[in-house]
Amino acid sequence: MSFSSTPGVSTGFASSVIFDLDGTLVDPAGAITGGIAAALAAHRVPVPSQQVLDSMVGPPLLTSLKALPGVTQENVASIMDHYRSSYLNSGMAASKVYPGIKELLQTLGESGVSRAVATSKPEPLANRLLEIQGLAGLIDSVHGSHPDETVPHSGKTEIVAAALSAVGADGLDEHQRRDRVVMVGDRIFDVAGAHAHGLRCIGVTWGYAPDGELEAAGADHLAADAAQLADLLQQLLGLSSSLRSALA
């Protein structure tokens, strides 16, 4: 289940882009991986390799933690609390918006394109991160997981569905939806969530996917920087004005 925190979103439909958050709009800059490592160490749980820690950026935290040796039903809640406390106190402020993203979001809005966020992060934390990073006013709706991270959820599919509903695309047929809504993300979960609803997905290679993951997942396009992403969005959504020009 996803919890929409942006009431009153218009049901009138415009072309829309649904963005993942961590690894797509915002670089956690070690705040997530370092925080997880510190929380594990504090509970005397073996800290995995950096590659494993990096793979934990994207999926639900509970799911990732439960896969680690030494994490049990008895200590997982305490580990999560330790991590979240550190993340709230310093991690969100240490994160950084990727180059060109703020300008791209602004230009999309000026072009009449609706901008939504669909993230596995708990929704209140997603809203707070967007506020701290100065992006809240550039996003039209935010959709994330349950505020209680011990409540399991089934991945991006339901969260993307909530975003589609908010932008008014749930009433479109499959062909209309595919033509007018694009998902942008950095992990396999974003590609799967998009394809579950018949959407095209642009995989951004500046995020946390291991080499080859986005290609193997079937991402429809890849973008190496905000300029390439702008060009792809302009092409796929049939926009007449240049998005790239705002990034210069």
pLDDT tens per residue across span 202-229: 999 999 999 999 999 999 999 999 999 9
- On whether both 136 and 189 belong to a single domain, the answer is yes
Name the DSSP class of 114. E
H/E element, 188: helix 188-195
Residue-number span of the structural domain to which 60 is assigned:
31-94
Average pLDDT estimate for 32-52: 93
- On whether both 40 and 163 belong to a single domain, the answer is no
- On whether both 64 and 108 belong to a single domain, the answer is no
Q: What is the CATH number of the domain that holds 63?
A: 1.10.150.240
Per-residue pLDDT tens over the stretch 129-166: 999 999 999 999 999 998 877 776 778 999 999 999 99
The end-to-end CA distance of the chain, in Å, is 39
Of 168, 150, 156, 133, nearest in space to 9 by CA:
168
Number of C-beta neighbours around residue 142 at 10 A: 27
- On whether both 138 and 60 belong to a single domain, the answer is no
- On whether both 130 and 112 belong to a single domain, the answer is yes
The string over 173-190, giving b where at least 16 C-beta atoms fall within 10 Å of a residue's C-beta and e elsewhere, is eeeebbebbbbbbbbbbb
**pTM for this structure?**
0.87
Q: How far apart, in whole angstroms, are the C-alpha atoms of residue 225 and residue 229?
A: 6
Interacting residues of 242 by C-beta distance below 8 A, sequence separation 6+: 230, 234
Q: Report how many domains make up the chain.
A: 2
